[in-house]
């Protein structure tokens, strides 16, 4: 049965693609199941376990068990202290929003530290750059005289 793709509408083509993908997935699952059954039959016929044939598979399974452990929180949301972040993975929205507020740094959001008072804080990067530019201008003016 040949299908003339030229005569199909876009909606019919999408439906055909979806059906083909569903069929491909089902065929793949059936093929994998068939292969697993063959392997199990060979192993049980010989009296073996998969770990005896492929010892590294057992190591990988054991090493994966240690992953996913919770990590201690490193940052706390100032507006809601019950919300924390470990510092790993994607930054949460509250963290990004807090950093956008004027004068807030990552150090201010750390757990167990007091935020630095603005009067004792180091000058911001923009202040340092402005001072550096002013010093260069003054040097140029002196050199031009």
Chain CA centroid to CA 84, Å: 17
Q: Which residues of the chain have pLDDT under 50?
A: none
Distance between CA atoms of residues 99 and 115, nearest Å:
13
Distance between CA atoms of residues 95 and 45, nearest Å:
58
User: What is residue 73's predicted lDDT score, i.e. its pLDDT?
Assistant: 87
User: What is residue 16's predicted lDDT score, i.e. its pLDDT?
Assistant: 92
pTM above 0.85, yes or no: no
Chain CA centroid to CA 90, Å: 5
Distance between CA atoms of residues 145 and 126, nearest Å:
29
Segment 23-37, tens digit of pLDDT: 999 999 999 999 999
User: What is residue 66's predicted lDDT score, i.e. its pLDDT?
Assistant: 58
């Amino acid at each position: 049965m040949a299908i003339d793709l030229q005569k199909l509408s876009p909606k019919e083509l999408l439906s055909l693609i979806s059906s083909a993908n569903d069929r491909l997935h089902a065929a793949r699952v059936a093929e994998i199941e068939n292969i697993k059954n063959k392997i199990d039959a060979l192993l049980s016929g010989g009296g073996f376990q998969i770990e005896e044939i492929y010892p590294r598979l057992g190591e990988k399974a054991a090493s994966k068990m240690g992953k996913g452990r919770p990590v201690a929180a490193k940052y706390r949301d100032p507006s809601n202290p019950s919300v924390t972040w470990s510092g790993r993975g994607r930054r949460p929205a509250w963290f990004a929003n807090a950093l956008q507020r004027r004068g807030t740094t990552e150090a201010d959001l750390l757990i167990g530290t007091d935020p630095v008072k603005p009067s004792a804080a180091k000058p911001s990067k923009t202040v340092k750059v402005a001072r550096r530019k002013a010093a260069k201008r003054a040097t140029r003016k002196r050199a031009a005289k």
